[in-house]
């Protein structure tokens, strides 16, 4: 089995400096060798360069910030991820901010139209141009993938290829008012931290899979935002929210999804190695690499 590391040093979906260095730190921490040691054939031909895209003048569209940059980069990522997936490889996209998932999931759905998406995050990332308060596109990728909100010409390449019933969230705890409306109106299944507390992570993952993958027959795209974890576990990230997943809960999700044998793509997003002291940065990078290994078959026994 081949894993293709897609290093995406990109921060255009949000305002904080440093998240583009996430993939650099994870590769420097040895993720390629770690996956090789697990038995994977690992492809990594260097981080993707988005400098040339940075050159364009890119005034906001409505509230949306860096719209043309985000569109161009996520479109490029869609082609890269889709290309690897079509060759039967498992793309492991290292972010970079979560707007990249507009690209990764578009790429996955191009190769696996019947794929379902399991989104691990403190946030729903489902704001539309009408509901966003920040204009940061890392809070919006899911709305584009579902085809919600008014069409934006600059994003016309994004096909609404994701169906609401094929999406499920785990870890939610910081949802904007507009997003709450969107989740309800579209009957989107979400297991917040309240459900994690009530049922335990084992039952939550089982219920999440039952919802999007009842016959365990559909490919799975796992999109993991490290801010789903409690800030005490992953401190160096752009939008930390207290009351998150424990180290083990985060790893259990990855282990359980690997056990299905259905994983076809993984995103590990929002590691920002410039937001904390060296020890906290190292902790966050290390947990990011550990989650990737667990999603790709590392077991405790
Ligand atoms: N919903 C937020 C945060 C998005 C986080 C993106 B992720 O998950 O990839 O990290 C928050 C908007 N707003 C921030 C100030 C307080 C009220 C909520 C937004 O900016 O849209
Ligand atoms: Mn996110
Ligand atoms: Mn988040
Ligand atoms: Mn974040």
Report pLDDT digits (tens) over 76-103. Answer: 999 999 999 999 999 999 999 999 999 9
Q: What are the helix (H) ranges across the chain?
A: 22-28, 31-37, 51-54, 67-86, 101-111, 141-146, 177-185, 193-199, 201-212, 247-260, 278-295
| Residue 249 known to be catalytic | no
Rounded percentage of the chain residues whose pLDDT exceeds 70? 98
- B/e letters for 89-126, b = 16+ CB within 10 Å, e = fewer, are bbbbbbbbbbbbbbbbbbbbbbbbeebbbbbbbbbbbb
From 96, 123, 272, the mutation candidate for ligand 1 (largest count of ligand atoms within 8 A of CB) is 123
Give me the chain's average pLDDT, please: 97
What pTM did the predictor assign? 0.98
| The predicted structure's pLDDT at residue 50 | 75
Q: Residue 200's Cα: distance from chain center in Å?
A: 22
Q: Which of 20, 58, 89, 125 is catalytic?
A: 125
Q: Are the C-beta atoms of residues 108 and 81 closer than 8 Å to each other?
A: yes
- Can you tell me the mean pLDDT for 112-120? 98
Task: Specify the length of the chain in residues.
Answer: 301
- Asked if pLDDT for residue 181 goes beyond 70, the answer is yes
For residue 194, report the distance from its CA to the centre of ligand 1, in Å.
19
| pLDDT tens for each residue of 18-66 | 999 999 999 999 999 999 999 999 999 999 987 556 667 899 999 999 9
- Can you tell me the mean pLDDT for 231-255? 99
| The predicted structure's pLDDT at residue 30 | 98
Q: Which atom of ligand 1 is nearest to the CA of 99?
A: 9
Q: Are the C-beta atoms of residues 160 and 145 closer than 8 Å to each other?
A: yes
Alpha-carbon gap, residue 287 to 219, rounded angstroms: 25
| The predicted structure's pLDDT at residue 56 | 74
Strands 263-269 and 189-192: unpaired
Alpha-carbon gap, residue 106 to 91, rounded angstroms: 13
Task: Compute the 3-state secondary structure of the chain and give helix, strand, coil in percent, each to the nearest 5.
Answer: 45, 15, 40
User: How much is the ipTM here?
Assistant: 0.95
Cα distances (Å, whole numbers) of residue 3 to 30, 65, 104: 14, 33, 15
Alpha-carbon gap, residue 78 to 139, rounded angstroms: 18
Alpha-carbon gap, residue 205 to 209, rounded angstroms: 6
Strands 90-94 and 220-225: unpaired
Residue nearest to atom 14 of ligand 1 (CA): 134
- Can you tell me the mean pLDDT for 163-170? 98
Residues with CB under 6 A from ligand 1: 98, 121, 123, 125, 127, 132-134, 136, 138-139, 176, 225, 227, 239, 270
Give the H or E element holding residue 239.
Answer: none
For residue 101, report the distance from its CA to the centre of ligand 4, in Å.
12
For residue 226, report the distance from its CA to the centre of ligand 1, in Å.
14
| Residue 225 known to be catalytic | yes
Of the ligands numbered here, which is closest to the C-alpha atom of 131? Answer: 1
Strands 263-269 and 167-172: unpaired
Structure tokens belonging to residue 95 = 């972010």
Q: Which of 97, 195, 270, 298 is catalytic?
A: 270
Q: Are the C-beta atoms of residues 124 and 179 closer than 8 Å to each other?
A: yes
Cα distances (Å, whole numbers) of residue 2 to 59, 89, 103: 40, 5, 20
| The predicted structure's pLDDT at residue 52 | 59
Strands 167-172 and 116-120: parallel
The residue among 260, 9, 215 whose CA lies nearest residue 114 is: 215
Q: Are the C-beta atoms of residues 38 and 3 closer than 8 Å to each other?
A: no
For residue 266, what are the contacts with CB-CB under 8 A and spacing of at least 6? 90, 91, 92, 93, 221, 222, 223, 224, 292, 295, 296
């Amino acid at each position: 089995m081949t894993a293709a590391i897609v290093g995406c040093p990109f921060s255009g979906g949000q305002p904080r400096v440093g998240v583009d260095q996430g993939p650099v730190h994870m590769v420097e921490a040895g993720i390629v060798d770690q996956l090789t040691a697990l038995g994977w054939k690992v492809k990594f031909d260097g981080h993707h360069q988005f400098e040339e895209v940075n050159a364009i003048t890119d005034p906001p569209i409505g509230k949306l910030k860096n719209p043309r940059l985000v569109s161009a980069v996520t479109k490029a990522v869609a082609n890269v991820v889709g290309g690897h997936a079509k060759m039967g490889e498992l793309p492991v996209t290292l972010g970079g901010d979560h707007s990249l998932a507009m690209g990764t999931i578009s790429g996955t759905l191009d190769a696996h139209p019947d794929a379902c998406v399991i989104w691990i995050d403190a946030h729903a990332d489902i704001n539309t141009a009408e509901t966003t308060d920040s204009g940061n596109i890392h809070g919006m990728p899911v709305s584009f993938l579902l085809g919600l909100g008014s069409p934006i010409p600059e994003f016309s390449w994004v096909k609404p290829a994701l169906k609401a019933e094929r999406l499920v969230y785990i870890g939610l705890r910081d949802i904007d008012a507009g997003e709450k409306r969107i989740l309800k109106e579209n009957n989107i299944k979400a297991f917040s931290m309240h459900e994690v507390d009530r049922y335990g992570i084992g039952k939550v993952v089982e219920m999440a899979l039952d919802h999007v993958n009842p016959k365990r027959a559909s490919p799975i795209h796992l999109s993991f935002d490290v801010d789903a974890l409690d800030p005490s576990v992953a401190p160096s990230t752009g939008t930390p929210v207290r009351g998150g997943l424990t180290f083990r809960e985060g790893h259990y999700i990855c282990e359980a999804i690997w056990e299905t044998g259905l994983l076809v793509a993984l995103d590990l997003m929002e590691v920002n190695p410039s937001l904390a002291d060296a020890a906290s940065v190292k902790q966050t990078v290390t947990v990011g690499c550990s989650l990737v290994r667990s999603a790709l078959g590392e077991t405790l026994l």
